Chain A
Amino acid sequence: MNDQKLSISGQEALPPLSIESWQHRHVLDLDDFTRDEINLVFEIAEAMSEVIARDVKKVPTLRGKTIATMFFEPSTRTRSSFELAAKYLSADTVSLDSVKSSVAKGESLIDSLRTLQALGVDTIVMRHPCSGAPYIAAQNLETSIINAGDGCHAHPSQSLLDMYTLRRHLGDLNDIKVVIVGDITHSRVARSNIWGTKALGIKLTICAPPTLLPHGLQAMLNKCGLDHVTVEHDLDVAIRDADAVMSLRLQKERQQSGLVSSIREYIHLYQLTTQRLALARPGAIVMHPGPMNEGIEISREVAYSSQSLIEEQVTNGVAIRMALLYLITGGKIR
């Protein structure tokens, strides 16, 4: 980091924390993030939130930089969030739609990414249906990679925005209790949040039917020292005293492949309802990474209640992604 300041208009906007402490060339997951690093992202995101709130949402911070979004899997939210984040920072963006080429083409992944690198892109924001794909990219490229979701593995920017949202409402997150309920097996959001909550000292309860939990989960928690996580099948038990509850999307295919007996029973056991929410702490926060299946994993009433921060999560997502793009693409020295 040179002595360049975070040039967000003329206002005092330099984060109080030292940016020299930023060591990441890529953002692949949160498993290698410290509490200080996450807090640094939050500090910068605060400044970015202020930019987003303005009438003219544009700062010149990343002028002359190019950011590519490369999505091998359909996505509207995450992609537009990253693209807007880049545009608000005055970066040029290029977006590649590679859904068709997804798996089974062998080296084509590295080839396509190398082409982007040769075109002079500074940062690649990448989503891929295969767990680990951004790691292959980072191993074979010089360009910085931001993982916008890989298979069932990780979705670091989502986890950061989840915790940023919590922090904006609850302040100190140490020792708060968060519940994540839903299809954990297929959830990159849940996996990244396991690491993010560990770094921030949050107590996490994971709640799902046994068929939607990875078999090796408990062994993983033991092996990786993730003793802040508890696993509970009964949502009515899990939700007790929770400061926040995050509901995950249940994809309809899960029923077809037999992982849940019926949508009806899933609703009965796992839908986040007003009644269930009443078992949490009064005023507990409701979150959802989207897109929601209203009436399946979450009732409409809860989704649009005063406790729901689901829309704010979306707005905060832009601020978090601006912060990540700034830290990765911004005043770095190579």
Chain B
Amino acid sequence: MSPELLIKNAHIIDPGQSIDITGNILVSQGKIKSVGKDIKETGIPTIDASGLVACPGFVDLHCHLRDPGFEAKETIASGTAAAAHGGFTTICCMPNTNPPLDNLAAIDYVNGTAARKGAVRVLPVGCITKGRAGKEITEMKELSNGGCVGFSDDGSSVSNSRIMSLAMEYAASLNTPIIDHCEDTELSRDGQINDGWVAARLGLKGIPAAAEESIIARDIALARMTGARLHITHVSTAGSVELIRNAKKDGISISADVTPHHLTLTDEAVLRDSVKNGISFAYDTSAKVNPPLRSQVDIEALIHALNDGTIDAIATDHAPHSAEDKLCEFDAAAFGISGFETAFGVLMTLVNTGKIKLTTLLACLTHKPAGIIGGKCAATGILKPSSSADIVLLDLNKIWRVNTHNFYSKGKNTPFNGVDLKGSVAATIFQGIFAFRDNTLEVTG
């Protein structure tokens, strides 16, 4: 490990400190030493970052590393390499593994494996209930002491309101957020895609917006009752945005994230006109995801919510799957999109079309998600002296075509394959060393 590194002539954007300058970043012993215009060091490894943006490494509140249990889909090693490729230096992994992360031994496994094989920082999220079964809450204090930064039964909602309220009381005492996957499974039962015109057209069972909104409404009421920190993850509907906006006005301790795909794709992605063997194919399983891709009205509401701060963060919900999980009947195909490696390029389409500002985007990928995690994440998402040297270098002008063959992730399941994007990750530095570096970027000295 190189003890020192100088990044010079970068356009430094650190939304957490309102820094937006052209200057240099000096890294020493894995930490930020200084950020400024007048740093002059010679004889140490140096990157000329002219034309590149340097900002804090991205923080992802929601991803699936599939390890332990589903190593054919992803491992901690492959998943963190993919995260680094996408600019992420801190990622929170969801507990729907096998065994699930509902006990200290499983958390220790993730922490230990990540320390040995991980390319970036992995922060585990523990289960709300044992076995994610929604019946008994986990030993949250022990899990929290073991390093869990939040609790979630992601993939399922806790349908029993009493159990959920108990979990929220417990989590409140630990000052640890509940990362809430909101889905009324009676309303969404057998659902495949958004309950809109595409579902009617294709004869697929729909998942109505109310399946998400009704549980958000319930959990806002429970947060009011318990004082828990409620974080709504992968918000997908305009109605959800309105509920969260009003809850914030009411002073509820609530935050929210949205994924790149919910910000950019509608349910019509399932109809994507890929013509193969002379027929157009209308059942694209790569666009099957839960919550489902919604409508243009929802997209507009989600973008508006990012701009007015109703939604605090962007999370990938990176959900890798193996080819056979997707190459099958639509009803049988797995839900999920492999999201790390397209996230930044996809999100830049919103900046490039003037829908959101670059600083808003970067804030939602850095200090704002770090703030939601709080304590264990306090020194990340920001370029402050003595904080961990987690830095991403971005080439905003590079146009590239998504090609899943170049993914570090084992999951090639993305509806963005073959799409041209403008804006890419040139390098990811984690604790002062390169976790990913584009081979055109040279280090001298």
B residues near A128, Cβ cutoff 8 Å:
329
Report A33 CB to chain B, min CB distance, Å: 13
Contact present for A220 and B203 (CB under 8 Å) = no
CA–CA, A272 and B174, complex, Å: 63
Report A313 CB to chain B, min CB distance, Å: 22
CA–CA, A140 and B197, complex, Å: 27
The proximity string for A residues 152-193 relative to B, scoring 1 for CB distances below 8 Å and 0 otherwise, is 111000000000000000000000000000000000100100
List the one stretch of B121-129, B277-285, B366-374 in contact with chain A: B277-285
B298 on interface, CB distance cutoff 8 Å: no
B residues near A26, Cβ cutoff 8 Å:
279
Report A285 CB to chain B, min CB distance, Å: 26
CA–CA, A150 and B203, complex, Å: 9
Contact present for B332 and A106 (CB under 8 Å) = yes
Residue of A nearest to B198 (CB): A216
Contact present for A215 and B206 (CB under 8 Å) = yes
Contact present for B332 and A104 (CB under 8 Å) = yes
B45 on interface, CB distance cutoff 8 Å: no
A2 on interface, CB distance cutoff 8 Å: no
* B interface SS class: mixed
B residues near A310, Cβ cutoff 8 Å:
none
List the one stretch of A13-21, A129-137, A245-253 in contact with chain B: A129-137
Contact of A219 among B196, B277, B283, B330 (CB under 8 A): B196
Contact present for A153 and B202 (CB under 8 Å) = yes
The proximity string for A residues 202-223 relative to B, scoring 1 for CB distances below 8 Å and 0 otherwise, is 0000000000001111011011
CA–CA, A151 and B332, complex, Å: 12
Residue of B nearest to A154 (CB): B203
Quick one: given A191-B203, A217-B200, are A103 and B332 in contact (CB under 8 Å)? yes
The proximity string for B residues 188-202 relative to A, scoring 1 for CB distances below 8 Å and 0 otherwise, is 000000011111111
A25 on interface, CB distance cutoff 8 Å: yes
The proximity string for B residues 299-332 relative to A, scoring 1 for CB distances below 8 Å and 0 otherwise, is 0000000000000000000000000110111111
Quick one: given A138-B279, A141-B277, A216-B201, are A132 and B196 in contact (CB under 8 Å)? no
B residues near A215, Cβ cutoff 8 Å:
195-196, 199-200, 206, 208
CA–CA, A223 and B277, complex, Å: 27
B116 on interface, CB distance cutoff 8 Å: no
CA–CA, A123 and B282, complex, Å: 22
CA–CA, A219 and B295, complex, Å: 12
B405 on interface, CB distance cutoff 8 Å: no
A residues near B276, Cβ cutoff 8 Å:
139
B243 on interface, CB distance cutoff 8 Å: no
Quick one: given A109-B329, A132-B329, A142-B277, are A216 and B283 in contact (CB under 8 Å)? no
A224 on interface, CB distance cutoff 8 Å: yes
Contact of A136 among B204, B208, B283 (CB under 8 A): B283
Contact present for B332 and A214 (CB under 8 Å) = no
Quick one: given A135-B283, A215-B200, are A106 and B328 in contact (CB under 8 Å)? yes
A residues near B327, Cβ cutoff 8 Å:
106-107, 110, 136
CA–CA, A224 and B204, complex, Å: 17
Contact present for A219 and B325 (CB under 8 Å) = no
CA–CA, A106 and B202, complex, Å: 20
B residues near A264, Cβ cutoff 8 Å:
none
B residues near A150, Cβ cutoff 8 Å:
203
The proximity string for A residues 111-151 relative to B, scoring 1 for CB distances below 8 Å and 0 otherwise, is 00000000000000000111111011011111000000011
CA–CA, A136 and B328, complex, Å: 7
CA–CA, A136 and B200, complex, Å: 19
The proximity string for A residues 11-37 relative to B, scoring 1 for CB distances below 8 Å and 0 otherwise, is 000000000000001101000000000
A residues near B198, Cβ cutoff 8 Å:
216, 220
CA–CA, A191 and B196, complex, Å: 15
CA–CA, A141 and B276, complex, Å: 10
Residue of B nearest to A186 (CB): B203
Contact present for A135 and B200 (CB under 8 Å) = no
Contact present for B203 and A151 (CB under 8 Å) = yes
Report B193 CB to chain A, min CB distance, Å: 10
Report A37 CB to chain B, min CB distance, Å: 15
What are 27 residue pairs bridging A and B, where the CB atoms are less than 8 Å apart in the complex?
A: A25-B278, A105-B332, A106-B328, A107-B327, A109-B329, A129-B331, A130-B330, A130-B332, A131-B330, A132-B203, A133-B329, A135-B279, A135-B281, A136-B283, A138-B279, A139-B277, A141-B277, A150-B203, A151-B331, A152-B204, A214-B206, A215-B199, A215-B200, A216-B196, A216-B200, A217-B197, A219-B197
B residues adjacent to A (C-beta < 8 A): 195-204, 206, 208, 276-279, 281-283, 324-325, 327-332
Query: In the complex, given contacts A106-B325, A131-B330, A153-B203, what are 12 additional A-B residue pairs having Cβ atoms less than 8 angstroms apart?
Result: A103-B332, A106-B332, A110-B328, A129-B331, A130-B330, A131-B283, A132-B204, A136-B329, A139-B277, A152-B204, A215-B206, A216-B199
